[in-house]
A and B are shown apart, each in its own frame.
Chain A
Amino acid sequence: MSSWTVLRNLAQIGSVYIGSRCMVQQQQRFVCSLTATSSLLVSRVPLLSQQRYAARKGTRDRKTKKKNKAEIAKKEEFVPYKEKLAKLHVPEGPRRMVEVNKPEVVDDVYFTRHFMTQSMSLADAVQFHRETNHPSVYNSPEALITMKVELDMQLQKKNRYLDNFSRILIMPHRFEYQPIRKVLAFCKTQETQDEAVKAGADAVGGVDLIKRIQSGEVPLTDYDYFIAHNNMMADILPLRGLLKRKLPNVKSGSIGINMTKMVAMFSKGLEFASTRDAYELDYGLVETPFGNLTMPTEELEANFSAILKDIESCRAKPTGAFITRCYVLSPPSPERFVVSTDPYVKIKKAAESSSSSSSEDEDSDTEKEEGDSRNQTRAVKQQ
């Protein structure tokens, strides 16, 4: 209505003709606009309902499509085949043998399943396996004797576990088990090269050998291990891209001065590795033979203790037992005996460290040990 008054005022002020034309135009415009709005007002109710229905249908479709898309995306998540397979075969019980509510042994004759398991000395276990594999029974007196070592892989932090490690060790007393591995040695001087060849290296060479490797004349796949003398440390660095993890390094012991020892270790040493359980993450297992039944017991004992000490050096926690249990087997004998590891491995008790935690020296010691163990694990990764 205010616009009408404004127009009237304008008409009064301006010329009649122009003013009247203007007025007419203005009025027409207003009428037009009015009709347009009124028509809208009239037709809004039926129109709106139709529009809304159509819009809702569309949104529904869109939403359902979105949902389906999301579902499809979820389904297509990739799971490796091995993991899928592992999930199908979830083990029922715990991996470690649990003995609860069993009494201690009282008598000299007893049923072993009703009582706590008694651990025995290695000499006894070997003797028993010899009995079972005797020619008059199972007839395999030259059978390999194997140890299964259960480990506690729990690190000091919660939900952190030690990674799998693999080791190479020169046995105090050698026995036939693994095939001899091929070793390539990098040495500069003639003396060291001779030494390596004497020890049984399959290929020996200096800077020229490195160049030949770079040019592709020497195939790397023929060799299992690469070792280097100390004075070749800088020269082998260009091979990093080719050798990758097999590049000789100090931590894994493949760079050194004593070529004889290194070659012997990498070509003839006993190779063993730990396997961590997929479900029980703190359960690790090392399974390796350590001799034949024909070997004298003292030699077996030496081998046994050497392996145990090497495993112990990879320990996860500075305190507590790392080796929780050790079985000794000798297939085809169906028996397995629990052998006490106490005489071979010193158990670091948690109580001792906690009682003397005030002294700083001890703490630093433990830290050092932890660092060592870390280094070793790293070394293992490189192999």
Chain B
Amino acid sequence: MLRLGFQLLGGAKTLQPSLSIRVEQIRTTYVLERRYPPHLDKKNRPPKNLKTKNFIYDEIENTNLKKEPDLKLILTSFVEGVGLKNEVVTVRPNFGRFKLLATGLAVYASPENLEKLKRDLENSKNDVQTTLHSSRYAELTRRDLAMRILVVLVNQENPWTIEKWHIRAAFRRSGIWVPDHAIKMGDRPISGPNLELEKKHFLVTVTINNLETTPVRCMIRNWSTLPELRLPRVDNYMEPPFEPVFEDERQVISTLPLPVFCLKKSVAS
């Protein structure tokens, strides 16, 4: 269907269609049906001509409005967020066609290709498939973690020493699931109550699937159960400069990528 919508920008006074035409095209594939089917042809006679009546059609289906089925592909290399090399993945058709097939990152999962893949895997059974990436999301998670500043809440009245479970709970509170074995902390203890440590950074190391490793900045924030004892509210407390707890960690803390909202601010300014 071709629709030409004329929208006159200058109102009815100025009729200048060349300037103000808005062409809106909606084109779709149709499956049609004759409302009046033609008469049957006779045996051993030339077929009858169609009448105008036979050209009246009813739309019975519009294939373009249907949801296309997913594509099954074999990845030829690691694709972030999609899969590992030699993995059979199911993706949306247009993403598969234009992002994976057109760039050569994947091939169709045809029976021949699947057989070939099977043969290849059998031949290369001895060496490990990939030691670069543990899973399709691990690299993305690692990058996001490196940008994070983890807020570790500590009580400003009771004595504390930061332990592994403090970090785990802090991660969990900020929406990141990290098990105990993935966290590695420094040897030096950090303990309080100590208001001088407010807004100071220290590092922990997170290992994803025993492979991807990244240091993560942690920021100490004091908190009290009694509202009158709480420290005054500070805005933009996650913005640089970052003060380290231990002076030798200053280098790493400043070189880790900034959080996204800091980057946006710097671009805007």
CB within 8 Å of B: which residues of A? 103, 105-114, 118, 128, 131-132, 135-140, 332, 334-335
Partner of A138, one of B134, B145, B155, B175: B155
Closest Cβ of chain B: how far from A85's Cβ, in Å?
A: 31
**Residues of chain B contacted by A108 (CB below 8 angstroms):** 179, 181-182, 208-209
Question: Of the candidates B161, B166, B175, which one forms a contact with A137 in the assembled complex, judged by CB atoms under 8 Å apart?
Answer: B166
CB neighbours (8 Å) of B138 from chain A are 107, 109
Q: Are B155 and A135 in contact (CB under 8 A)?
A: yes
Partner of B158, one of A113, A131, A139: A139
Given A107-B137, A110-B176, A111-B144, residue A139 in contact with residue B169 (CB < 8 A) = no
Question: Which of A105, A109, A112, A128 is the one whose CB lies under 8 Å from B169?
Answer: A128
Say whether, besides A109-B141, A111-B176, A112-B176, A136 and B134 are in contact (CB < 8 Å).
no
The distance in angstroms between the C-alpha atoms of A137 and B141, with both chains bound, is 27
Interface size on B, residues (CB 8 A): 36
**Chain B residues in 8 Å Cβ range of A113:** 175
Contact A106/B135 with A112-B176, A138-B223 known, Cβ cut-off 8 Å: yes
Residue of A nearest to B153 (CB): A137
B160–A107 CB distance below 8 A: no
Q: Which of A106, A109, A112, A335 contacts B179 (CB 8 A)?
A: A109
Tell me how far the C-beta of A102 lies from the nearest C-beta in chain B, rounded to whole angstroms: 12
Contacts known (A108-B209, A109-B176); A138 close to B135, Cβ less than 8 A: no
Whether B177 sits at the interface, judged by CB under 8 Å, is yes
Instruction: Give Cα distance in the complex from A110 to B144, angstroms.
Output: 10
Task: Give every chain A residue within 8 A of B135 (Cβ-Cβ).
Answer: 106-107
Contacts of A332 in B (CB 8 A): 225
Q: How many Å lie between the Cα of A135 and that of B157 in the bound state? A: 9
| CB <8 Å contact, A110 and B141 | yes
Report chain B residues within 8 Å CB of A138: 153, 155, 223, 225
- The reply to whether B179 and A136 form a contact with Cβ atoms under 8 Å apart is no
Chain B contacts with A in 153-168, Cβ cutoff 8 A:
153-155, 157-161, 165-166, 168
Q: Would A139 and B155 count as touching, CB distance under 8 A?
A: yes
Chain A residues with Cβ under 8 A from B181's Cβ?
Answer: 108
Q: Which residues of B contact A114 (CB under 8 A)?
A: 137
Which of A109, A110, A139 is the most central at the interface, judged by chain B CB atoms within 10 Å of its CB? A109
Complex: chain B residue closest to A118, CB-CB: B177
In the complex, what residues of B have CB within 8 A of residue A139's CB?
155, 157-158, 224-225
* Secondary structure dominating the interface of A: loop
A111: chain B residues within 8 A (beta carbon): 141, 144, 175-177
Additional A-B contacts beyond A106-B136, A137-B153 (15; CB < 8 A)? A106-B137, A108-B182, A109-B141, A109-B177, A109-B179, A110-B177, A111-B175, A112-B177, A114-B137, A135-B155, A136-B155, A137-B169, A139-B157, A139-B224, A332-B225
Q: Tell me the complex Cα distance, A105–B135, Å.
A: 11
Among A103, A107, A128, contact of B209 (Cβ-Cβ < 8 Å): A107
B155 pairs with A107, CB closer than 8 A = no
- Please indicate the chain B residues that have their CB under 8 angstroms from the CB of A334 in the complex: 173
CA gap between A114 and B175 in the complex, in Å: 10
Residue interface mask B197-238, A partner, CB < 8 A = 1: 000000000111100000000000001110000000000000
Residues of B within 8 A of A132 (CB): 169, 173
Query: Cα distance A159–B226 when bound, in Å?
Result: 49
Once the chains are docked, how many angstroms separate the CA of A135 from the CA of B179? 22
Instruction: Identify the interface centre among B135, B144, B173: most chain A CB within 10 Å of its CB.
Output: B173
- Inter-chain contacts of B154 with A (CB < 8 A): 136-137
Name the B residues within 8 Å of A105 (CB-CB).
177
Q: Can you report 30 A-B residue pairs in the complex whose CB atoms are below 8 A from each other?
A: A105-B177, A106-B135, A106-B136, A107-B141, A108-B181, A108-B208, A108-B209, A109-B141, A109-B145, A109-B207, A109-B209, A110-B137, A110-B141, A111-B144, A112-B176, A112-B177, A128-B172, A132-B169, A132-B173, A135-B158, A136-B166, A137-B154, A137-B160, A137-B223, A138-B223, A139-B157, A139-B224, A140-B225, A334-B173, A335-B172
Contact B137 A137 (CB under 8 A): no
Q: Is B178 an interface residue (CB 8 A)?
A: yes
B169: A residues at CB distance < 8 A: 128, 131-132, 137
A106→B133 CA distance, assembly (Å):
13
Contact at B208–A107, with CB atoms within 8 Å? yes
CB distance from A64 to the nearest CB of B (A): 37
Q: How far is the CA of A231 from the CA of B168 in the complex (A)?
A: 61
| Residues of chain A contacted by B137 (CB below 8 angstroms) | 103, 106-107, 110, 114
A258→B141 CA distance, assembly (Å): 61
